[in-house]
Chains A and B, each alone.
Chain A
Amino acid sequence: MSYEFLRVVWYALLGILLTGYAVLDGFDLGVGALHLFARGDENRRILLNAIGPVWDGNEVWLVAGGGAMFAAFPEVYAAVFSGFYLVFILLLFGLIFRAAAIEFRGRLPQSWWRRSWDASFSASSILSSFLIGVAFGNVIYGIPLNAAHQFSGSFFSLFSPYPALMGITTVALFAMHGSIFVILKTEGDLHANAREWGRNCLIFFILCYVVLTMATLLYVPHMAAPFRTHPYLFAIPAVGLLFIANIPREIFHGRDFSAFVSSCLAIVFLMGLVGIGLYPCMVYSNPGPQNSLTLFNSASSPATLTVMLIVAAIGIPLVVSYTAGVYWIFRGKVRLDPHSY
């Protein structure tokens, strides 16, 4: 395989890993965002146990995505992680508190203990989603890179309006995705409540999405360029929108699983939109687009990319099959038992 082809394949594979993360951890982050809307200890335990067996495995997609970035595009990994220093440190604290909340909450029965962890779980889920969105927004909008591809801006410049808007949209997207997962996994009153959350989250997300799209077209013209030159690519946002529109329809008909699949596919298409808009950039430099990190100037050697591709070709089918197995074993509505959180 040619070096050029290998790099494009790894750009796509990195995209697939990050999309896997957004689809999978997206719903459990979203469940966290909605956690405080559930009333009473039992309902909150049901929410936690809906994601209980899978959240940890979902987060591995972030580990794998980060690892693949380190390995396939070390320049991007080094520039992004050192450039977004405090953003990523805060994201880490968000994820640490989230893990602690999920794991610790059920270990003591006192209500002050559980309420504190409920608040911590919800706040850290929202913070993590927001910061992931902010990081993504910065990569899309562009960050100032110097000729050595090092970030030369400041911490506060990372929270400019466009990335912040992307952060809020990410919270909305994950909350919508999470609410549909809750609809899928619950019954009775909680199920009825979740249908209401689902509707509100969908409206919230669509509002954010419209504003974000306008902002992108106005302020981030490089993202729209590939669509101008290849108009057939407009099929991707169009299909994504159809999946979003399909969600309330499926919920209305009580087909909760189809609604969830629609939501997953909507995220896949949104990620595809970002991947195509950015291509071949990985981190856009703004100002100074000539300093941008692209998949061509930041990749590892052909030898490394080849070995990794062999590993991925063996490993990813295995991962997908036993991940599916775990989801199958824990299918159906949540029932609390002595081993639950």
Chain B
Amino acid sequence: MSAVFLARLQFAFTIMFHYLFPPLTVGLGVILVIVEWLYLKTGDSLYRETARFWVKIFGLIFALGVATGLVMEFEFGTNWSHYSRFVGDIFGSALAAEGIFAFFLEGGFLAILLFGWDKVSPRIHFLAALLVAAGAHFSAVWIVVANSWQQTPAGYRLIGTGPAQRAQITSFWQVVFNPSSMSRIAHVYMGAWQAGAFLVMSVSAYYLLKNRHVRFAQTSMKIALSVAAVASILQLVTGDSGARVAASLQPAKLAAFEGHFPKSAPAPLYLFGWVNSARETVRGVSIPRGLSLILYGDPNRPVTGLDAFPVNERPPVNLVFQSFHLMVAIGFALIALAFAGLFFWWRGSLFNHPPLLMLYVPSVLLPELANELGWFSAEAGRQPYIVYHLLRTAQGVSPNVSAGEIAASLALFAAVYALLFALFVFLMNEKIQHGPGPEAPEAREPAGRLA
């Protein structure tokens, strides 16, 4: 296998593993702010217990997010040194802003959130929750801005030629507000809110089914369900505006999303299907002219298809098609799940529907999967470029790192991450089985454990 392929594989593996965690902390951060605010308003100790439990969960997820996130910052340099030279000047200011404003904010106030319960007043603790959540949201901005700049570059000029070519910043604000960054940040935020909210719903539904910690679970469920419903509906809006940006600035990517080949023709909207890239056909169920209709509000307006691009300028169509469609399907499933809950809540019988609760228990997997698929379709859809139309992925790698070295590091990452993941799942389960309340072991646990 070539060094380029291995470097891509390693990046995809490490980023997808990393991306299991930050969306959960961003979304959980929002819920923590709501719970702590309710505690401040009402003084009801139930909210305090609720916040304490979710802070513990937050801490565990956050630790894994930090540990796997540092890898990402290093990996730009270790595996993609040419890319780093090319984009360093652009990413510089955004990166500095986020590092200073976001990471320090999170790292500093997390200490108060985790360990400050008895050391600061509830008001300060609420402030810490607010600032940690804000920090989590800020840190998403930088990475999405940088990634969006790779999709739709703006505010730069190219200097030098050949391997010495670099992108140089001409306008900081054009880089930050490049054409796709705002809709993509909103899309990432809503995906994260869904992940956090459905995590809380999953755990709460489990307790309700087991008839344990019922008041705690009911409180958590109501708060999370509200967040989930808002985020799921807004996600439809952000996804739609993202697709329009792609249609105008990255037509090859949009065409791959829908498997649309004709150079310029009204396009159908596939519900599901299978793309044969060689024969340029899609088999599946579609709404005729549906894509033209939702993109432009006009069923007869043509959409640029993949045939408008030479074969070596096209992304891997079927992979992009499948990941995109699965993500969209999950998006609609999440809306259905959230609104089914709202409906029964309105009827006053939310907690009396075991089948719905049973659906909720594994539901956190859906937004997690959708977030991964969304990342995959965005990145694979940009191929063969690492910076759209400016730098090819194959040119971005470190020329002096051999395939053997990458294979070695990839094997190590696979082993270490498998272990980390197993430990994470195991400890999450331990914490969930233990439930909210004091840390002292409960009577039903086996004897012989240390305190």
A339 near B117 with CB under 8 A, answer yes
Number of interface residues of B (CB under 8 A): 75
A71 near B95 with CB under 8 A, answer yes
Tell me if B's interface is mostly helix, strand, loop or mixed. helix
Number of interface residues of A (CB under 8 A): 77
* B272 located at the interface, meaning its Cβ lies under 8 Å from any Cβ of chain A in the complex: no
* B420 located at the interface, meaning its Cβ lies under 8 Å from any Cβ of chain A in the complex: yes
* B264 located at the interface, meaning its Cβ lies under 8 Å from any Cβ of chain A in the complex: no
Q: Which of B60, B64, B115 has the most CB of A within 10 A?
A: B115
B107 near A59 with CB under 8 A, answer yes
* B88 located at the interface, meaning its Cβ lies under 8 Å from any Cβ of chain A in the complex: yes
B170 nearest in chain A by CB position: A303
* A72 located at the interface, meaning its Cβ lies under 8 Å from any Cβ of chain B in the complex: yes
A81 near B96 with CB under 8 A, answer no
Measured between beta carbons, the chain B residues less than 8 angstroms from A316 are 100
A93 near B451 with CB under 8 A, answer no
B73 near A67 with CB under 8 A, answer yes
Measured between beta carbons, the chain A residues less than 8 angstroms from B430 are 107-108
Binary interface encoding of chain B residues 113-126 relative to chain A, with 1 for a CB under 8 A from any of its CBs, else 0: 01111111000000
Binds B, one of A198-206, A217-225, A322-330: A322-330
A93 nearest in chain B by CB position: B416
* A85 located at the interface, meaning its Cβ lies under 8 Å from any Cβ of chain B in the complex: yes
* A9 located at the interface, meaning its Cβ lies under 8 Å from any Cβ of chain B in the complex: no
A66 near B74 with CB under 8 A, answer yes
Minimum C-beta distance from A65 to chain B (A): 9
* A196 located at the interface, meaning its Cβ lies under 8 Å from any Cβ of chain B in the complex: no
Interchain residue pairs with CB less than 8 A apart (23): A53-B115, A60-B103, A70-B73, A70-B88, A71-B91, A74-B88, A82-B79, A82-B398, A85-B79, A88-B78, A95-B67, A96-B416, A99-B67, A100-B67, A301-B168, A307-B92, A307-B172, A311-B93, A315-B104, A323-B104, A326-B108, A329-B112, A330-B119
* A75 located at the interface, meaning its Cβ lies under 8 Å from any Cβ of chain B in the complex: yes
A148 nearest in chain B by CB position: B163
Picked from A73, A81, A329, A337, the residue with its CB within 8 Å of the CB of B78 is A81
A326 near B95 with CB under 8 A, answer no
Measured between beta carbons, the chain B residues less than 8 angstroms from A210 are none
A85 near B96 with CB under 8 A, answer no
* B244 located at the interface, meaning its Cβ lies under 8 Å from any Cβ of chain A in the complex: no
B88 near A71 with CB under 8 A, answer yes
Given A78-B88, A311-B97, are A150 and B416 neighbors across the interface (CB < 8 Å)? no
Tell me if A's interface is mostly helix, strand, loop or mixed. helix
Picked from A74, A110, A155, the residue with its CB within 8 Å of the CB of B89 is A74
Binary interface encoding of chain B residues 416-451 relative to chain A, with 1 for a CB under 8 A from any of its CBs, else 0: 100010010001001100000011110000000111
Picked from A57, A307, A337, the residue with its CB within 8 Å of the CB of B107 is A57
Measured between beta carbons, the chain B residues less than 8 angstroms from A41 are 450
A95 nearest in chain B by CB position: B70
B92 near A71 with CB under 8 A, answer yes
* B235 located at the interface, meaning its Cβ lies under 8 Å from any Cβ of chain A in the complex: no
Picked from A60, A75, A81, A109, the residue with its CB within 8 Å of the CB of B449 is A109
CA A88 to CA B412, docked complex, whole Å: 13
A63 near B85 with CB under 8 A, answer no
A303 near B97 with CB under 8 A, answer no
Binary interface encoding of chain A residues 37-61 relative to chain B, with 1 for a CB under 8 A from any of its CBs, else 0: 0000100000000001110110110
Measured between beta carbons, the chain A residues less than 8 angstroms from B85 are 74-75, 78
Return the 5 tightest CB-CB contacts between A and B, nearest first: A74-B88, A81-B77, A71-B92, A315-B100, A53-B111
B420 nearest in chain A by CB position: A100
Binary interface encoding of chain A residues 294-306 relative to chain B, with 1 for a CB under 8 A from any of its CBs, else 0: 0000001101110
Q: Which of B82, B163, B440 has the most CB of A within 10 A?
A: B82
Given A83-B400, A150-B399, are A71 and B108 neighbors across the interface (CB < 8 Å)? no
B118 near A339 with CB under 8 A, answer yes
Interface residues of A in 62-104 (CB under 8 A from B): 62-64, 66-68, 70-75, 77-86, 88-89, 92-93, 95-97, 99-100, 102-104
* A229 located at the interface, meaning its Cβ lies under 8 Å from any Cβ of chain B in the complex: no
* B71 located at the interface, meaning its Cβ lies under 8 Å from any Cβ of chain A in the complex: yes
* A236 located at the interface, meaning its Cβ lies under 8 Å from any Cβ of chain B in the complex: no
Measured between beta carbons, the chain B residues less than 8 angstroms from A62 are 70
Q: Which of A110, A326, A330, A338 has the most CB of B within 10 A?
A: A326
Minimum C-beta distance from A135 to chain B (A): 11
B109 near A322 with CB under 8 A, answer yes
* A241 located at the interface, meaning its Cβ lies under 8 Å from any Cβ of chain B in the complex: no
B449 near A56 with CB under 8 A, answer no
B108 near A307 with CB under 8 A, answer no
* B205 located at the interface, meaning its Cβ lies under 8 Å from any Cβ of chain A in the complex: no
A78 near B89 with CB under 8 A, answer no
B77 near A77 with CB under 8 A, answer yes
